[in-house]
Each structure stands twice: as C-alpha cells, then as structure tokens.
Amino acid sequence: LADTAERDYFTLRARLIIMQKQLEGAQLYIREQCLR
C-alpha cells in the first residue's frame, strides 16, 4: 500500500469511528428524550 493511500485509509477509518460514536450518542439522547 502506498503512503498516501495508507494515510487516506486511516483518516477514513478515524472519521467512520467518530461518526459511529456521534450516532450512538444521538440514539442515546433520543432514547432518553422518549423515556421522559
């Protein structure tokens, strides 16, 4: 794997992980709001 491709891959993975965490946080927030 070329250096740039490898870097892009890790950047993409990091973004995906961040997006997943944000999604989980949003779902948790919505669940808490609905339970009120």
Structure tokens at 31: 């669940």
Instruction: Report pLDDT for 2.
Output: 82
Instruction: Report pLDDT for 36.
Output: 81
* Interior angle at CA 16, CA 25 and CA 12, nearest 5: 155
Write the pLDDT tens digit of every residue in 19-32: 999 999 999 999 99
Residue 34 in 3-state DSSP? Answer: helix
* 9 within 8 A of 2, measured Cβ to Cβ: no
Instruction: Report pLDDT for 1.
Output: 64
Maximum pairwise Cα distance, the chain? 52
pLDDT at residue 14 is higher than 70: yes
